[in-house]
Amino acid sequence: MQRSFLLWLRLALAGLRRPGPEARRIAAEPRPEGTLIWLVLNDSAEAAADAALLARRLNRLRPQLNLIVTTRGPIADSIAWPQRTRIEAMPENTPASMRMVLDSWRPDLIVLIGNDLPAALICAARSVPILLVDVHLAAGTTRNPLLRNEARSLLRRVRRVLVRDAGTSETLLALGVDQARVEIGGVISDPPDPLSCSDAERSSIAQQMRARPVWLAASVPEDEIATVIAAHTHALRLAHRMLLILAPDATGDATELADKLNAEGWVVGRRSLEGEPDEEMQIFLADDPGDYGLWYRLAPVTYMGGTLGEGAQAPRSPLEPAALGSAIVHGPKTAPHAAEFARLSEARAARAVMAPGQLGEAVAELIAPDRAAILAHNAWAVTSGGAGAVEATARAIVTELDRAAIARAN
């Protein structure tokens, strides 16, 4: 078996240290009676919330199960953990500290959540099965040969790996992980509650618009207005009755914008004045930020404002339209929702444009209902799939727990 010299050297040097204060404190506390799983989190607040979802599902499957959750970062008090869960700081990542904690807790299973591979723990837990779940690796992870060898050595000690997507699976296979131990489990997350609206109003406006093609430009900052209008002009060449629902990023008075568009020759309506778009309107200003649930439902295509320009005050999450069946178009500037855009991109659930001039082409292409429907379906699958991933991961953990119990009995 090929081993990583870098890993061996690092652990050898760390092995000279005595157990740290965190490990000694933990070892002084009594172990819970019964079956125990050690959940190891990374530092993100999102990981803690997702781990709590997983913990609650495990509790429903095995009510008598004990969970010890460790993290290097703080965990919000608002996160709801099931009974029989204990939250601890992560012990020092040295062989002596990890051996002390393992001897004290005697876990039946260790579950690593996220991308972290705590070397001292993995190497110290020789008799304890380890699962790695909710893994997401970016392309290029295997480029450094030293890190590749170290990761390969550690991953050989992991019994089962559940990854978020096919790209991560391919990366792990390139690192030498046995294909039989890698499976795609999806993203552990709580599906977002769709934004609400009045169904009667939605039905009324849909009737007013009848079969008109519609697209929404959501939370558009001032410096993108011209780009959106140019895209609408381009799309109108293919669908002359197309309606643009334009939601400005600024929540103030939209009178100046309406006057400017009227002066350019557009027939413009405003939510705050006319209430609903009529047959003659070409642009409808959605100047009430509380109505996004309505517009996402009415518009088959949504452009996420602020992703082609600068200065967006309140950029919207792409998961909002995704949850309500609107196909998503966006530019390259995806902060502060980069992780959400990446999830949609990997699932082929969004259309990216790299330059302002490409927006009109994308909107015109997605006028075709079948093209928009494919993106919308994939996007909906992303937002609704978190619960399924939680279930699949929880059942994989319980399966490995039972296997470990049978192995000990024999």
Position 9 confidence tier, pLDDT thresholds 50, 70, 90 = low
β-sheet bridge partners, residue 215: 244, 301
Report the CATH number at residue 251: 3.40.50.2000
Same domain, 157 and 184: yes
What per-residue confidence (pLDDT) applies to 138?
A: 66
Residues 315 and 169 in one domain: no
Which residue is listed with tokens 């781990």? 51
**Do residues 43 and 114 make contact, with C-beta atoms less than 8 angstroms apart?**
no
Burial (Cβ within 10 Å: 0-12, 13-18, ≥19) of residue 321: buried
Look at the chain and report how many structural domains it folds into: 2
**37-46, 60-69, 240-249, 325-334: which range is least confident on average?**
37-46
Residues 30 and 177 in one domain: yes
Residues 179 and 84 in one domain: yes
- Please state the rounded mean pLDDT for residues 207-226: 91
325/372 Cα distance (integer angstroms): 9
| CA distance to 33, 124, 228, per residue, from 104 (Å) | 12, 13, 62
Q: 135 and 262, same structural domain?
A: no
Looking at the structure, do residues 225 and 356 belong to the same domain, yes or no? yes
d(CA 342, CA 151): 24
State whether 168 and 142 are in the same domain: yes
Model confidence pLDDT, tens digit, residues 279-310: 899 999 999 889 999 999 999 999 999 999 87
pLDDT per residue as tens digits for the range 172-204? 888 888 888 999 887 787 777 789 999 999 999
Range of the domain at 78: 5-191+386-409
321-331: pLDDT as tens digits? 998 989 999 99
Residue 154 or 354, more confident: 354
**Band of the pLDDT at 7, cuts 50, 70, 90?**
low
For residues 18 and 129, the model is more confident at: 129
pTM here? 0.64
Least confident of 106-115, 167-176, 236-245: 167-176
Q: What integer pLDDT is reported at residue 1 of this predicted model?
A: 36
Amino acid at 79: I
DSSP class per residue in 73-120 = S---TTS---TTEEEEEPPPSSHHHHHHHHHHH--SEEEEESS---HH
55 & 170 share domain: yes
Peptide bond into 318 cis (omega under 30): no
Q: Chain-wide mean pLDDT for the chain?
A: 87
Q: Are 22 and 117 contained in the same domain?
A: yes
**Residue 317 and residue 229 share a domain:** yes
Claim to verify: residue 169 and residue 267 sit in the same structural domain: no
For residues 307 and 369, state if they share a domain.
Answer: yes
pLDDT digits (tens, 9 = 90+) for 73-93: 788 888 899 999 999 999 998
- Taking phi first (over 0 means left), then psi (-120 to 50 degrees means alpha), and beta for anything else, what does residue 210 get? left
User: What percentage of the chain carries pLDDT values higher than 70?
Assistant: 90
